[in-house]
Chain A
Amino acid sequence: MTSVCDQRQFQRLIDLRCVQIAFLLAIAIFGVSCGGDGDNPDNFDNRAPLIFAAASLANVLGEAASLYETETGNRVDFNFGGSITLANQIALFGAPADGVFFVGERPAEVFAEAGLVPAPGYPNTFSNSLVVIGPNGAARLSSLEHIASVKARFAIADPLLAPAGVYARQALESAGIWDEISSRAILMLDVRAAMAAVESGNVQFGIVYKTDAATSDNISVLYEIEDGYSPIGYMAIPLKGASNEDGAAKFLQYIVSEPATLTLFERAGFTIAGVPGRPGPNR
């Protein structure tokens, strides 16, 4: 069986296969050179600054970036998520952020623990508050303690990953019901994921920022939590030594000083806390 009877036929078969393989290899190499090299310059310098930002800023920063691009012609890229998650990615593993726009105190601690000294940025420029949300048509709550009596599952951001969860937990602790209801908590990656859980109809309550609730038509605010948690502060910081630190600094400066963007933030429900346009010392 292995004796080669027809040498020419065997040769032809091999030639054919070689041509086919060469052709496929050529396609593969062509694909790699197009896909790989073509995009390489984009990966490093000469790119739009990349801002790692709190999930709760997703809508308003997007709008602000459009304004910024119209006015200056410069694009800005974002990576939204839980501020603590993103801070860890930067501090522990060198994620290539050029600037950050985080909420809460934990991200700054994460940076400090990793020995990262952030540039002076814009601390506590904006503020926010918490609300309890539920599906459209759900009855309003008379108090936060009311959640405990309903015995339903509720969604918050995971306190280990996102400050929204830290604040929500604080509020529930202050109301004295955290221990009772914590086993019914659905912990999500960030505040928007917590809101999505309620939007999907699978969870009866959620605790999110007032500004998040305002972006969705699929949920209603059932209760506004006035106190029982630390003041919610947003900090904007360009990262020292990042590949596009300047681009990030310009954009963040624009955000905190431009009247048009401040109006955007106000309309979205944020409180303007810091003095606009004046970089303060970081903490």
Chain B
Amino acid sequence: MNTDISIVALSLQTAIVATAVTLPLGMFFAWLLVRKEFRGKFALDVLVSLPLALPPVVIGYMLLWAVGNNAWLGQLSLSWFGSTIAFTWFAAALAAAVVSLPLVVRSFAAALAGVDPKLETAARGLGAGPARTFLTVTLPLAYRGVIAGVLLGFVRALSEFGATIVVAGNIPGRTQTVPSAIFTRISTGDTEAAWRLVLVSVVIGIAALAVHNWLLRRSTAGQPRSGRSVGRSNW
């Protein structure tokens, strides 16, 4: 039971850190893709979405070469912290971040696309800078979609297994997340313990999807309480 709690805690820790990485990064990419025209936009779109189209084990292997002890990133961390990133919980968080990024970007992009650009133009016309416009007009209007995206990315990060087990291993108490613990328990025939964590996963998944769908339904129907339309969604 205690081990279960620490496994869930470690999973939450990696998913929270992954989300902290994907939230700003995802917002930046989504904003670029929705609001900007530039050379290489198509390539960026493909690159950001690529983790969706690759087997997670491929992501894990690429990351392993990027942060392992024979890569400069791994060497850097080795000389600074006395440990490589590979096979630490941070590697698990990194894997979860990369794998969940496409979902986050897509959700954010849909949310941003729902904000009428004329409102942003108006804000700029009234003297607000781009940052202020984004923070006080775009973000508040895209709020529900953004939270839904964060939530989706968070549960995807919690579910991550394929890339995680390659780049972070499956070390009890250090890098063993809920999915890898379930895998170990299945492999060793510890049926009852496996089912406990399966149950935890199902409960978290249902709760997250329920909140996610509720947020999105509110946002497509999401008019201000006065009944006046402020930021009508385009989709």
Contact = CB atoms under 8 A, between A and B. Distances in A.
Q: Do A and B bind each other?
A: yes
Interface of A: 1-2, 4-6, 9-10, 13-14, 16-18, 20-21, 24, 28-29, 31-32, 35-36, 39, 43-45, 50, 58, 77-79, 81, 89, 92-96, 188-190, 192-193, 195-196, 199-200, 216, 218, 243
A116 B187 CA distance: 30
Contacts of A200: 189
Interface string B6-39: 0000001100110110010000000000000000
Interface string B62-101: 0010001110001000100111101111100000000000
B79 to A, nearest CB: 12
B84 A96 contact: yes
A58 B169 CA distance: 17
A192 B187 contact: yes
Contacts of A190: 187
A79 B172 contact: yes
Nearest to B93: A36
Interface in B114-155: 116, 118-119, 122, 135-137, 139-141, 143, 147
A196 B169 contact: no
A14 B140 contact: yes
A202 B174 CA distance: 32
A32 B87 contact: no
For chain B, the bracket of interface size reads: 35 or more
A46 to B, nearest CB: 11
Contacts of B81: 43-44
B55 interface: no
Nearest to B136: A14
Interface of B: 12-13, 16-17, 19-20, 23, 64, 68-70, 74, 78, 81-84, 86-90, 116, 118-119, 122, 135-137, 139-141, 143, 147, 169-174, 186-189, 224, 226, 228-230, 232
B169 A89 contact: yes
Contacts of B137: 14
Given A2-B119, A50-B174, A77-B172, A94 B224 contact: no
A9 to B, nearest CB: 6
Nearest to B119: A2
B226 A9 contact: yes
Contact of B230 (A13, A39, A81, A93): A13
17 contacts: A6-B226, A13-B140, A16-B140, A18-B135, A24-B147, A28-B19, A32-B16, A43-B88, A44-B83, A79-B170, A92-B70, A93-B84, A94-B78, A190-B187, A192-B187, A195-B189, A196-B189
Contacts of A77: 171-174
B10 to A, nearest CB: 8
Nearest to B67: A93
A94 B69 CA distance: 5
Given A2-B119, A35-B17, A93-B87, A20 B143 contact: yes
A206 B188 CA distance: 14
Given A94-B84, A195-B189, A18 B19 contact: no
